[in-house]
Structures are given as structure tokens and as C-alpha cells.
């Protein structure tokens, strides 16, 4: 089975860590950290702020490598949450 990639944060997630829709069903597009009860957990998050968080995670907290952060950042514009076409 192809791993699920969160269409908000870009991180892989499992069937157990899928976000939830308003009706309580599981959502295959977003992880539980980004999407609960049919809405984004951080409504005001911008793609630029997310990029900054990833670089901080890599540089200050060593949670991911700098190269991993850069790879995820490159994918963000293609994810459903950040695509401009979703706004139309």
C-alpha cells in the first residue's frame, strides 16, 4: 500500500493517524495533527509559516534533517491545502 502523505504538512501518516471529518469518519488526505472534526487544527497557518517551522525543526531541534526539511518544503505548493486552484 502506498504511504499516505498529509496534504497539509507533507509528512507521511498511517491509517491510524488519519484526520477526522466532521461526521467522525477518517479523512485520507490529512493527518490528525493537521485536520480534526472536519477543519484544520491551525486555521491561520500559512505555507510560509510552515516552511519556517520545518527549518526551525531542522536547525534548532534536530527533529528532521535540513535536507528532509528542504524536500518537504519543495512539495508544499503541490499539496491540496496550499494549491491556489483549491481556492477557486
* pLDDT level of residue 85 (50, 70, 90 thresholds): low
Distance CA 22, CA 75 (A): 27
Q: Could you identify the residue written with the cell 536547525? A: 59
pLDDT of amino acid 63: 83
Domain boundary assignment for the chain: 4-83
Side-chain-facing half-sphere of 26: CA atoms under 13 Å: 10
Instruction: State the pTM of this model.
Output: 0.87
pLDDT of amino acid 87: 55
Strands 4-5 and 12-13: antiparallel
Q: pLDDT digits over 37-84, tens only?
A: 999 999 999 999 999 999 999 998 888 999 999 999 999 999 999 996
Amino acid at each position: 500500500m502506498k504511504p499516505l502523505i498529509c496534504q497539509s504538512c507533507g509528512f507521511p501518516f498511517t491509517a491510524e493517524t488519519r484526520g477526522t471529518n466532521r461526521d467522525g469518519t477518517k479523512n485520507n488526505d490529512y493527518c490528525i495533527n493537521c485536520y480534526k472534526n472536519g477543519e484544520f487544527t491551525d486555521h491561520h497557518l500559512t505555507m510560509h509559516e510552515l516552511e519556517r517551522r520545518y527549518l526551525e525543526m531542522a536547525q534548532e531541534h534536530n527533529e528532521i534533517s535540513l535536507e528532509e526539511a528542504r524536500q518537504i518544503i519543495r512539495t508544499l505548493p503541490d499539496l491540496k491545502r496550499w494549491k491556489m486552484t483549491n481556492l477557486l
